[in-house]
Amino acid sequence: MGLTRYVASRAATSLATVIVGCVVVFLVMKAAPGDPALSILGENANPEAVAAFRQKHNLDAPVLIQLANWLAGALRGDLGQSLTIAGGRPIAGLIARRLPNTLFIGLFAVLIAVSVSLVIGTIAALYRGRLADTIATSIAVLGISMPDFWLSYMLVFAFALGLGWLPSYGFVSPLDSLSGAFYSGLLPAAAVAAPMAAVFARTLRTALLGIAHQ
């Protein structure tokens, strides 16, 4: 019962976080300057066309009504349409087409992080207090401290623009070519994996030292 209660509590907390995040983002977007109708139709659109566009997409309703309608649609899997970027195509479809790429990069990053952390954390624990431990610990601290976006730029400059070993842009879907996905996804996966590997390595070092003391 304790485990079931814990899982249910975590699930409820996660769901509440998602809902609150959606509400905050929705309200912030509504508070931002600009008119979606004018963004689509242009600044010179006639008032009748603007009014028709707002009525068609429920933009003339009160903000709370718009929010309630969006949340109701999201619960059914309808996230609305991308009016400005994808020409009115459903957002759920856009996410679904890109989800395999995102999952692949995430899993690839975790694989890299676990592999690197096993090496660094083990070396740091086996050679505690020695030069190898200092170097491994410094690498872990550096990995935690480096911003992801800065590391991404450095990886592109070094391995794509400098050495020419990896592509600087583009991605091959794993559904099209698994080897191509590994090749084109190595740089973004490495940028995501660096801080994870640093945290994993420090945690592994602490755990191994605790076991050794026992």
Q: One digit per residue, pLDDT tens: the chain, 214 residues?
A: 566 777 888 888 888 888 888 888 888 877 777 777 776 677 777 777 777 777 777 777 777 887 888 888 777 777 777 766 656 677 777 777 778 888 888 889 989 888 888 888 888 877 787 887 788 778 777 777 777 778 888 888 888 887 888 887 777 777 777 787 888 888 888 888 888 888 888 888 888 778 777 7
Domain co-membership, 129 together with 176: yes
Instruction: Tell me, yes or no, whether 71 and 115 share the same domain.
Output: no
Residue type, 103: L
Q: Are residues 200 and 143 in the same domain?
A: yes
Chain centroid offset of residue 81 CA? 21
Q: What H or E segment, with its residue span, contains residue 51?
A: helix 47-56
Where a domain ends, among 70, 90, 110? 90
Asked whether residue 56 falls in the same domain as residue 115, the answer is: no
- Of 90, 111, 136, the residue at which a domain comes to its end is 90
Query: Which run of H or E residues covers position 214?
Result: none
**What are the E-state strand segments in the chain?**
81-82, 89-90
Place of tokens 């004018």: 38
Residues 204 and 111 in one domain: yes
Distances (CA, A) of 168 to 67, 98, 171, 191: 40, 19, 10, 13
Does one domain contain both 20 and 109?
no
HSE of 144, CA atoms in CB hemisphere, 13 A: 12
**Contact between residue 205 and residue 123 where contact means Cβ atoms under 8 Å apart:** no
Give the number of domains in the chain: 2
Are 92 and 77 contacting, i.e. CB atoms less than 8 angstroms apart?
A: yes
Three-state SS at 118:
helix
Based on the fold, state whether residues 46 and 60 are members of the same structural domain.
yes
189 and 100 share one domain: yes
105, 64: one domain: no
Identify the domain containing residue 116 by its residue range: 96-213
Same domain, 110 and 191: yes
> Are 24 and 81 in the same domain?
yes
